[in-house]
Amino acid sequence: MPDRQTGEAGYLEANGDPVDVFPINNPILDADGNVVQKRNRLSYATLNQISGEYRGSYLDDQVILLLGARMPFFSRDLNQYCVTTDASGNVNCPATQAGIDAQLAANSAYAAPQSRKFDYNKLLPNLGVTYKLTSKASVFTSYAKNLSVPGTDALYGALYFDEVVERLNGLQVLSVTAAEAGGHKDILGFFTGAVRVPGLDSLGFLPGAPADHLTSFGGQLLDNPTQMSALEWLKAGATASYGTVVEPCNHLGKFPHPGILMTFYAEGETLIEAYWKSVAWPGEGVFVGEPLARPFGMRTSRDDQGWWLESHSAAGRRAVVETAPSVVGPYRLVGTVQIPAGYGRQRLNVQAGAVRVR
């Protein structure tokens, strides 16, 4: 069934009460006459399923056996017409395409309006056995599998993650369960919602790799019976981790956003800079590990032949070159340079007392 959700902005009285509790009756309009929205999305939830059941009686009705199975075909079609600003699903809703383009151009971490479809199809068996002890007493046991589907808000928040992950050029992204991750090598980042990771010692972390739980309070480093401490990641070879010290109550802004973290990290930020840009609400968290880890980045050096640029980039990019009479400055733009993917070393055609590339 379709579910169209909008959130028209309305006027308030001087005391803060709404002029109309239904703002759609008298919405605020922008300068072009468009309705100012706080939310604008359209969702479809479609469920079809087949099921079957067998019921049998044995030993003169002393044993009753029930066997069944159902196969749901559940789909969620999501259409987000606003710009998603963070992993918690907060949005800005410009009324025009020009407004949307302007917001995306000014904020590289924002996710554009988009549509996605999620399918949830799984065979769900059930089994029941009843044993009659006497004509008045019996015992029974049963087993059944069920299917839990994320709520609408959580799925719209996931659109933000998908959008940012698509920008991670140069990095290979694998989606596996914690149980399936054992034995993987060359790991530059590991993010999971599991409270414990089986086979942790079998993971092969690259130097500089962050790893994170993204759940509950991994920041309780000692005497934490509820989940694996963030320190366990470091013991397994990760370079750094992050965790909240109290129950975060599923506020996504209290966790690192993997897409944002790895985007800035791959662009040459230090690990602490990338982490802090990815956590919207860092007040209840603790960072552990090497804050200045920086596997990607650039540095300049000078020898008898002139200035050289060494770089290590995930996907390659264009950078600006600035020069100054000395390291004190002032620096001025003199050109750009193409940074190759992987490791590179190239000579800079500049003459100056100091050079920086960014």
DSSP string, 251-283: -GGGS--HHHHHHHHHTT--HHHHHHHH-S-GG
Give me the pLDDT at residue 87, please: 65
Mean pLDDT of the 226-241 span:
91
The yes-or-no verdict on residue 306 having pLDDT over 80 is yes
Give me the pLDDT at residue 248, please: 80
Per residue in 169-191, is it b (16+ CB within 10 Å) or e — as a string?
Answer: eeeeeeeeebeebeeeeebbbbb
Domain boundaries, the chain: 43-156, 168-289, 297-357
The DSSP bridge partners found for residue 131 are 63, 139
Q: Report whether 43 contacts 2 (CB < 8 A).
A: yes
Give me the pLDDT at residue 325, please: 94
Mean pLDDT of the 90-118 span:
85
Per DSSP, the chain holds a count of helices (H) and strands (E) of: 5, 18
Residues written for the chain: 358
The yes-or-no verdict on residue 54 having pLDDT over 90 is yes
Q: Is 58 helix (H, G, I), strand (E, B) or coil?
A: strand
Higher pLDDT, 333 or 246: 333
146-179, pLDDT tens digit by residue? 888 878 887 887 777 666 666 666 777 777 777 7
Q: Is the peptide bond before 330 cis (omega within 30 degrees of 0)?
A: yes
316-328, pLDDT tens digit by residue? 888 899 999 999 9
Mean pLDDT of the 64-81 span:
93
Could you give the CA distance from residue 243 to residue 221 in angstroms, rounded to a whole number? 9
Give the pairing type, strands 91-92 and 2-8.
Answer: unpaired
Mean pLDDT of the chain: 88
Instruction: Return the number of other C-beta atoms located less than 10 Å from residue 227's C-beta.
Output: 17
Selection from 46, 187, 50 nearest residue 117 by Cα: 46
Could you give the CA distance from residue 276 to residue 267 in angstroms, rounded to a whole number? 15
Higher pLDDT, 307 or 106: 307
The yes-or-no verdict on residue 1 having pLDDT over 90 is no
Helix (H) or strand (E) holding 128: strand 124-132
238-277, pLDDT tens digit by residue? 999 998 888 888 777 888 888 888 888 888 889 999 998 8
